[in-house]
Amino acid sequence: MKLLITGANGFLGQHLALHMHNKLYDIYPVSRGVKRIPIAEIPYYQLELTDKQAVLNFVDQIKPDCIIHTAAMSKPDECFYNQAECILQNVTATEFLLEAAKQVSARFVYVSTDFIYGEGGPHSENAIPNPLNFYGETKLMAENLVKTSGLRHNIIRPVFIYGAHWDGMRPSFIQWVKLNLETNKKIKVVTDQLRTATYVGDICKGIELLLQHETNEDFHFAGSDILSPYEMAVLVAKVVGLNKDLIEPVTADSFPEIVRRAKKSGLKIEKAIDILGYQPLSFEEGVRLSFS
């Protein structure tokens, strides 16, 4: 099966390219900048997704069986400050990719986010969307384009992704905690937000399971533990053997928040467990693997 993976320089995209390469899929990882995947034998193609003709040509040339679209402007604050650019990266680029996918009848897997929902999590796949910030709004707009494309498609939603990190990748929350504790720096971490953080390896396995199923359903690929960032930071300190007393519990209102984030977010994963056999790690296991 030929897989086109967008956002291949990103945190999820790099992990996914490695995972699918190891599983012997025929992969075509694309991203905007120069290659940052650290494995020479993994192919890589530079592709600007807002360049419609380049996208149409590339997809027509490769003729992928499936396009896994992870690329996005993924930082909510950046989206808020650059709204026109955010629409271009998150919505218009998705529109071009969908048009290209139609040319070759490719299956389309869109990586969305828990940010399309509002308060009252953990949410199931049939919860009513209610984005609290502009990033979430644009991801929901892209979801709607995917849903009305007429293509075989799936929308998957991870939450607060973490995992192993290497040079050329932006660190996830757990690396930020470790780095600060290692250098004896105090950190303030919020207690009054709940998330079901996703180990990146679980999303990769979830996508692999999805590809083995002929389904048009949406799935939540999240972790099984509902934890606050403070609880997560304390678990990171335990796993890496550093001083948890450097972690100060605070409430979200002690930070000037530029964009709204749900207090109680997180996603339910029963559907992915029942239909796909998805089995996520506990947060502690995920952190252990990330630093092993």
Question: Which stretch, 29-37, 204-212, 237-245, 282-290, contacts ligand NAP (CB under 6 A)?
Answer: 29-37
Give the residue, chosen from 4, 11, 28, 64, that forms a contact with ligand NAP under the rule CB under 6 A. 11
CB atoms closer than 10 angstroms to residue 229 = 22
The strand pairing partners of 109, in sequence order, are: 68, 154
Q: Does 50 bind ligand NAP (CB under 6 A)?
A: yes
How many binding residues for ligand NAP (CB under 6 A)?
27
Whether 108 and 151 have beta carbons less than 8 Å apart is answered as: yes
- Whose tokens are 């997704």? That residue is 49
Identity of the residue numbered 180: N
Give the residue, chosen from 3, 5, 7, 195, that forms a contact with ligand NAP under the rule CB under 6 A. 7
CB atoms closer than 10 angstroms to residue 135 = 26
Within 232-271, the residues that bind ligand NAP by CB under 6 A are none
Whether 58 and 48 have beta carbons less than 8 Å apart is answered as: no
Q: Is the preceding omega at residue 171 within 30 degrees of 0, hence cis?
A: no
Which residue has its beta carbon closest to ligand NAP? 10
| CB closer to ligand NAP out of 52 and 246 | 52
Give the residue, chosen from 111, 190, 247, 287, that forms a contact with ligand NAP under the rule CB under 6 A. 111
Q: Which two tokens stand for residue 29?
A: 């990882």
Q: Does 79 bind ligand NAP (CB under 6 A)?
A: no
Whether 34 and 94 have beta carbons less than 8 Å apart is answered as: no
- Angle of helix 52-62 relative to helix 93-104, nearest 10 degrees, comes to 30
| Residues 149-178, mask of contacts with ligand NAP (x by CB under 6 A) | ---------xxxx--------x--------
Q: Does 290 bind ligand NAP (CB under 6 A)?
A: no
Q: Does 133 bind ligand NAP (CB under 6 A)?
A: no
Q: Does 116 bind ligand NAP (CB under 6 A)?
A: no
CA distance readout (Å), 70 to 5, 82, 205: 7, 20, 15
| Residues 219-238, mask of contacts with ligand NAP (x by CB under 6 A) | --------------------
Report d(CA 31, CA 22) in Å as an integer.
Answer: 20
Q: Which two tokens stand for residue 188?
A: 């303030």
Give the residue, chosen from 3, 4, 10, 218, that forms a contact with ligand NAP under the rule CB under 6 A. 10
Provide the binding-site residues for ligand NAP, judged by CB under 6 A. 7, 9-13, 31-33, 47-50, 70-72, 74, 89, 93, 111, 113, 139, 158-161, 170
